[in-house]
A and B are shown apart, each in its own frame.
Chain A
Amino acid sequence: MSGQPTVFAAEFPPGTDSFEFDSLIPALRDTAAATLVTKITLLVWIAVAALIIFFLVAYRDPKIVPTRAQWMAESLYGAIRDGVCREVIGREGVRFAPYLTTLFCFILLTNLFGIIPFAQISPNSHIAFPAVLAVITYVVYIWLGIKKHGFFGYLKMSTIPPGTPILLLPIMIPIEFIQNLIMRPVTLAVRLFANMFAGHMVLLVFILGGVALFEAENFLLRPVSLLSWATAIAMTFFELVVQILQAYVFTLLTATYIQSSIAEEH
């Protein structure tokens, strides 16, 4: 295992080591708190600070006729409020807009770190962060469901699809239970994590692969490095799309789960 995975082209092919960063505080290395202050957590804190500062500054003095920053902040909120909450949940959904917008912005910014120079890795490529977000979504929609329908009412609602023949119940109940109450948060977390993980890996393969080709002993291979780097640039744009899309998907699915919890019984 390399101790210095951040050194330029230190290793090829990239492995899971490429996602591990040493503690920025040397005293904490090789302790249980080793991952407390790393590049990854630092990026998370930067995202937190950026979001808070951006929104507070943009909204320190809201006007009826918005300034540019205010307009941008409002557009983000309005897009989630009208494009996700109202579309998926309905009129009632507007009260979830603040949470869903926060969720979307947080995921989007941390995703974008994957292609922002010097950051160049998304904290969401560490399962811990998507897992935390998925668990919060899970708790929120379970809680809303129980509040609305009662514990057993919600359990019944989420395990027995309407109109299921009684004979099928022994099959349907476990399937629905696993799908709605176990797999939902897992897939939510893994989807985001895997996309960011794979995206980082793909970029590493083409960038470090280009370096490896450039340094190849067979000089005929060296020009191929340019192709590799060009592909890396193309993949960076592709990653941008994936990052935005995954932030949107996470938010949209959270809204869908909330909607299924507070929906009237079919």
Chain B
Amino acid sequence: MRTYAAEEGGGHILLPPLAEIIVGLVAFGLVCFVLMKFVFPRMEQTFQARVEAIEGGLKRAEEAQAEANRLLEQYRAQLAEARTEAARIRDEARAEAAAIRDDMLAKAAEERDRIIAAGREQLAAERQTLIRELRAEIGSLAVELAGRIVGESLEEEARRRGTVDRFLAELDAQPAGSGGR
């Protein structure tokens, strides 16, 4: 194992050799020149461009947001309008349906009344016919019956006929409750 004593004092390490100073100046100068001329100014430009891009992007985003809000409002208004319209149409339809129904009910009632009235009229007419037939028949039956009871024909006698008619007229003149029903 060899050992060497350090050079006396070793103070020369604080004395820079001229050649190294020159190398240091030239080398650092070169780095400074290239980086400060070609690299860092462009970096500042890029930073600036980036800031502008971001700010521009924010502005565009704000505009898009505003546009979206405007459209949303518009759609909401339209939607509300459509709802009102729908409600109106619905009310109208309901009213119309009610009107139709009332109309039909009225018509049906009218028809019913008409049918009932017709039925009544017919009944009344038939009753009149029946009454008329019955009157004729009852007249002849009564005459025939009276003839048999009296024992002689009374047909020739016009007075008799008058008597029967008078008799029937008297029947008619009586209150309606006893004869017609």
Contact = CB atoms under 8 A, between A and B. Distances in A.
A40 B5 CA distance: 23
B5 A15 contact: yes
B3 to A, nearest CB: 6
B16 interface: yes
B85 to A, nearest CB: 50
Contacts of B16: 126-128, 131
A55 B35 contact: yes
Contacts of A34: 17, 19
Interface string B25-60: 101101110111011111111110110010000000
A12 B32 contact: no
B23 interface: yes
B162 interface: no
B153 to A, nearest CB: 141
Interface residues of B, number: 43
B3 A52 contact: no
A194 B158 CA distance: 176
B76 to A, nearest CB: 38
A175 interface: no
Given A52-B34, A56-B38, A56-B39, A132 B6 contact: no
B2 interface: yes
A16 B7 contact: yes
B4 A64 contact: no
Interface residues of A, number: 53
Nearest to B6: A15
Contacts of B28: 48, 106, 132-133, 136
Contact of A59 (B5, B17, B30, B39): B39
Nearest to A31: B19
Interface stretch (A93-101, A222-230, A235-243, A256-264): A93-101
A126 B21 CA distance: 10
Interface in B10-26: 10, 12-25
Given A35-B20, A105-B31, A212-B1, 8 more contacts: A11-B2, A16-B10, A34-B19, A36-B19, A52-B30, A55-B35, A102-B32, A132-B25
Interface of B: 1-7, 10, 12-25, 27-28, 30-32, 34-36, 38-47, 49-50, 53
22 contacts: A2-B4, A11-B3, A13-B3, A15-B4, A15-B7, A16-B13, A35-B20, A40-B20, A41-B20, A44-B24, A48-B31, A55-B34, A59-B39, A64-B46, A64-B53, A98-B39, A99-B36, A106-B28, A127-B15, A128-B24, A129-B20, A132-B28
What 5 pairs across the A-B complex have the smallest Cβ distances?
A: A128-B16, A15-B6, A128-B20, A98-B40, A132-B24
